[in-house]
Amino acid sequence: MKLIEKSQYTVLKGNYAVAHGVRLARVEVISAYPITPQTTIAEKLADMTATGELKARFITVESEHSAISAVIASSLAGARSFTATASQGLALMHEMLHWATGARAPVVMVNVNRALAPSWNIWTEQTDSLAQRDTGWIQIYNESNQEVLDTTILAFKIAERVYLPTMVVLDAFILSHTSEPVEIYPQELVDEFLPPYEHPNAINFDDPRAIGAFARPEYYMEFRYNIQKAHEEALRVFKEETELFADMFGRKYDTVEEFMLDDADYVLVLAGSTATTAKYAVAQLRERGEKVGIMRIKLFRPFPVEDVRRVLSGRKKVAVIDRNVSFGHSGIFYMETRAAMYGAKDRPPIFGYVAGLGGRDVRPQDIIDIYEDMKRREEPENIIWKGVRV
Amino acid sequence: MSWAWVEVKPNENDLMHPGHLACQGCGATIAARLALKVLGRKAVFVIPASCWSVIDGAWPQHALQIPVFHTAFETAAIAATGIRAALDMKGKHDVHVVAWAGDGGTFDIGLQALSGAAERNENIIYITYDNEAYMNTGIQRSSSTPLGAWTTTTPDERPEDKPKKNMMEILAAHRVPYAATASIAYPDDFIRKLKKATQVKGFRFIHLFSPCPPGWKMASNLSVRSARLAVETKIFPLYEIEDGEVYTITHWPKGLPVEEYFKLQGRFKPVLKDPDRLAYIQRYVETQWEKLVRLHEASHGYLPEEARATIRSAI
């Protein structure tokens, strides 16, 4: 009997899928502070550590700032470390997100996408994680609870190969609190995929070092260059590890997912669980003979420029649907997609749509409306608001 | 013109080497050197933004012969907690994890994480080397700045008008197993307390008085003398609190007038020109001291003979 055949099939909410991913990754130090809709991740991991199902220290801190600070330190001291948060919590961590990257701490964090206040809003929106774009974290977006579990495991593998912190992102409620069938892999198989963690600069009394010491202008820039090189390496590592993951676990992920794109003239670009809705809408459009497909962005940092160019070049039109906004400009995936396509051959016009902020539903009809609107328009616009009452 | 060369050789047993970047007469370097004599090589220093972020040296240099972990301003207590957690998970229980923070990183921006770690009774040693202002940024007031002091943000025209925050009472309220004040001018007392701290499990706190010649506007050869006068004037008493309840004064001061301490330092120039304020501060110091003596008495059931001489009013 192959190991994979020992998998258990169950029904899990997205947050519990995260917890099982963390358990299977044999995380050693966890620190988290409660925030809706992340809370049930912390609760489940507290249970797992209390019962001994997961042998880890759970540090119940007094803020998200301390949660991330604790796991950066424990990661650099040689223990596989994890935290999870959302929205305000992620914003509070901001200073330490830069720190994690600069210190090369391969921490894994799950962020449950939630809108920022005010007004208070606990529902899904991607602006919280995308606003951390320039902190140097690897960012991976997810569409289903199975993908969340798989990506949590993958995240440790990738982070620990390139020594970069990695953020696994899922949508509030639509994934975090919705139950879906999930395959939970046997521990032995995950152990084969993910070896024990070591940090080359972990505390060593025979070779005492100062970690994170100040660097003068003659050195600082080289540290920054090395981080960029690590991100470039992370793109290759992501490809390798998703290949290996597919061989071992039977599920293939890529930097971008291509859906009904073979002969598509029109492409909808989006990320996260809205892609499921869009796939349903696109299938309907296909029945009507529309040549439309989807490119779902999974890997946001490092940004998969080559894959985006390969998929989008030569199409007639592209619409990017953003569940986020960078005020004063446009949706953020739109901005990134356009930047990647600048200078590409056969570059199609790209239209920017903002929809579903603060958890407002994005329904199949909304996707169809966006598709038809794009088809009708001649000149691309940076920001077209879908479903806003003005 | 001739030059006098002094060859500086590091002592093999000294875990702090020359070549660090501190100012002349820096109390915080005396503090670290003494601390490492007790802690030995199996210790990690966690240093938030503070003078010591600089003192240890710019990358790739490093003056301490133990691992140092630099961290953000408000995170000394929690970063130490994280390191402790990782070492415990790896079975390395014989290491002292020491948060080594200034007064700003402790009394002000680091207080939240410090409170969290103290309340959870994390198994770390937290030492604050207190120079009573933000010295690394160039002498701005902190909540540790004493009544009457000049800083660049409490100028002579409006010197500090609030007493120093009482960190020891805050720690006592957390019921931590061990909290103590100490001073670089009393190395025996500091070393004894730190040794005691290393033998206790749980959260241990040492409030270490550490003069800053440039920040206090005094000559660099006055660090130890000023630190001694702070104790002998009862401005900075030496004591310890066990389990948040048992108070023990470890040195009975001479009870010199506060002026003796103030007049060494340019930062107290405005107070020395203001007799009313000076008298107020003297009264404040006496009141605080009496409270402490009563706590000692309540903890032990009696007062030693030398205690009585330190109290102006009859007990």
Does any domain span residue A166?
Answer: yes
Quick one: A245 and A307 in the same domain?
no
The count of residues in chain A is 390
A interface with B, Cβ–Cβ < 8 A, is 28-29, 31, 55-57, 59-63, 65-66, 69-79, 81, 95-96, 99, 203-205, 208-216, 219
| A-B contacts (CB, under 8 Å) | 147
The pLDDT > 70 percentage for chain A reads 100
Asked if B71 and A69 count as a contact pair (C-beta separation under 8 A), the reply is: yes
User: Which residues lie below 8 Å from residue A1, measured CB to CB, with a gap of 6+?
Assistant: none
Does any domain span residue A209?
Answer: no
Taking an 8 Å cut-off on Cβ atoms, the answer to whether A210 and B68 are in contact is yes
| pLDDT, position A1 | 80
Q: Which of B53, B64, B75 should one mutate to test binding to chain A, selecting the residue with the greatest count of A CBs within 10 A?
A: B75
Counted domains in chain A: 2
User: Which residues lie below 8 Å from residue A316, measured CB to CB, with a gap of 6+?
Assistant: A265, A266, A348
User: Which residues lie below 8 Å from residue A145, measured CB to CB, with a gap of 6+?
Assistant: A12, A13, A14, A17, A175, A178, A179, A180, A182
**SS3 of chain A:** CCHHHHCEEEEEEHHHHHHHHHHHCCCCEEEECCCCCCHHHHHHHHHHHHHCCCCCEEEECCCHHHHHHHHHHHHHCCCCEEEEECHHHHHHHHHHHHHHHHCCCCCEEEEEECCCCCCCCCCCCCHHHHCCHHHCCEEEECCCHHHHHHHHHHHHHHHHHHCCCEEEEEECCCCCCCEEEEEECCHHHHHHHCCCCCCCCCCCCCCCCEECCCCCHHHHHHHHHHHHHHHHHHHHHHHHHHHHHHHHHCCCCCCEEEECCCCCCEEEEECCCHHHHHHHHHHHHHHCCCCEEEEEECEEECCCHHHHHHHHCCCCEEEEEECCCECCCECHHHHHHHHHHCCCCCCCCEEEEECCHHHCCCCHHHHHHHHHHHHHCCCCCCCEECCCCC
Residues of B in contact with A78 (CB under 8 A): 86, 90
CATH (domain of A115)? 3.40.50.970
DSSP-derived 3-state class of residue B130: strand
Does any domain span residue A134?
Answer: yes
Identity of the amino acid at A299? L
Q: Nearest 5°: phi and psi at B207?
A: -95, 105
Residue A150 structural domain: 3-101+111-196+214-249
Among candidates A74, A210, A211 on the partner chain, residue whose Cβ is nearest the Cβ of B85: A74
Taking an 8 Å cut-off on Cβ atoms, the answer to whether A209 and B62 are in contact is yes
Quick one: A131 and A227 in the same domain?
yes
Asked if A321 and A352 count as a contact pair (C-beta separation under 8 A), the reply is: no
| pLDDT, position A42 | 98
Q: State which residue of chain A sits closest to B112, comparing Cα positions.
A: A62
Mutual angle of helices A332-341 and A305-312, in 10-degree steps: 80
Quick one: A30 and A79 in the same domain?
yes
Q: Which long-range contacts (C-beta less than 8 Å, at least 24 apart) are formed by B37-40?
A: B37/B13, B37/B191, B38/B191, B38/B194, B38/B195, B38/B198, B39/B15, B39/B66, B39/B96, B39/B98, B39/B194, B39/B198, B40/B15
Among candidates B71, B87, B89 on the partner chain, residue whose Cβ is nearest the Cβ of A212: B71
| pLDDT, position B9 | 63
B interface with A, Cβ–Cβ < 8 A, is 41-42, 44, 46, 53-54, 56-60, 62, 64-72, 74-75, 78-83, 85-90, 95, 112-113, 115-116, 119-120
Which sign does the torsion angle of CA A4, A8, A9, A11 carry?
negative
Residues of A in contact with B70 (CB under 8 A): 210-214
User: Which residues lie below 8 Å from residue B232, measured CB to CB, with a gap of 6+?
Assistant: B253, B254, B255, B256, B260, B261
Asked if B99 and B171 count as a contact pair (C-beta separation under 8 A), the reply is: no
Quick one: A158 and A236 in the same domain?
yes
DSSP-derived 3-state class of residue B281: helix
Domains observed in chain B? 27-308 (3.40.50.970)
| Residue A278, pLDDT above cutoff 90 | yes
Quick one: A172 and A224 in the same domain?
yes
Does any domain span residue A350?
Answer: yes
Which tokens is A318 given?
Answer: 């592209």
CA pair distance A171, A127, nearest whole angstrom: 11
Quick one: A179 and A307 in the same domain?
no
Asked if A50 and A60 count as a contact pair (C-beta separation under 8 A), the reply is: no
Mutual angle of helices A87-102 and A64-76, in 10-degree steps: 30
C-alpha distance across the termini of chain B, in Å: 63
pLDDT digits (tens, 9 = 90+) for B271-301: 999 999 999 999 999 999 999 999 999 999 9
Does any domain span residue A208?
Answer: no
Taking an 8 Å cut-off on Cβ atoms, the answer to whether B78 and A205 are in contact is no
Taking an 8 Å cut-off on Cβ atoms, the answer to whether B75 and A76 are in contact is no
Taking an 8 Å cut-off on Cβ atoms, the answer to whether B59 and A219 are in contact is yes
| pLDDT, position B18 | 85
pLDDT digits (tens, 9 = 90+) for B217-226: 999 999 999 9
pLDDT digits (tens, 9 = 90+) for A111-136: 999 999 999 999 999 999 999 999 99
Quick one: A65 and A171 in the same domain?
yes
Cβ burial B7-41 (10 Å sphere, 16+ → b, else e):
eeeeeeeebbbeebbbbebbbbbbbbbbbbbbbee
Quick one: A235 and A345 in the same domain?
no
Quick one: A95 and A232 in the same domain?
yes
Which tokens is A302 given?
Answer: 């490092």
CA pair distance B267, B262, nearest whole angstrom: 8
CB atoms within 10 A of CB B295: 19
Q: What are the distances in angstroms from CA B26 to CA B12, B34, B131, B168, B229?
A: 22, 13, 10, 23, 17
Residues of chain B where predicted confidence (pLDDT) is lower than 50: 1, 314-315
Does any domain span residue A201?
Answer: no
CA pair distance B183, B193, nearest whole angstrom: 11
Which tokens is A101 given?
Answer: 């990257």
Does any domain span residue A337?
Answer: yes
| pLDDT, position B306 | 86
CA pair distance B62, A364, nearest whole angstrom: 60
Beta bridge partners of B241: B179, B247
Taking an 8 Å cut-off on Cβ atoms, the answer to whether A63 and B113 are in contact is yes
How far A13 CA sits from the closest chain B CA (Å)? 29
Q: Nearest 5°: phi and psi at A318?
A: -130, 135
Taking an 8 Å cut-off on Cβ atoms, the answer to whether A213 and B46 are in contact is no
Quick one: A11 and A96 in the same domain?
yes
User: Which residues lie below 8 Å from residue B314, measured CB to CB, with a gap of 6+?
Assistant: none
Residues of B in contact with A74 (CB under 8 A): 82-83, 85-86, 89
Does any domain span residue A353?
Answer: yes
How far B247 CA sits from the closest chain A CA (Å)? 28
User: Which residues lie below 8 Å from residue A41, measured CB to CB, with a gap of 6+?
Assistant: A15, A16, A18, A19, A32, A84, A110, A112
Identity of the amino acid at A148? V
| Residue A162, pLDDT above cutoff 90 | yes
Q: What are the distances in angstroms from CA B225 to CA A6, B184, B213?
A: 73, 10, 11
| pLDDT, position B7 | 61
CA pair distance B232, B279, nearest whole angstrom: 17
Q: What is the CA radius of gyration of chain B?
A: 19
CA pair distance B158, B149, nearest whole angstrom: 9
Quick one: A183 and A274 in the same domain?
no
Quick one: A60 and A163 in the same domain?
yes
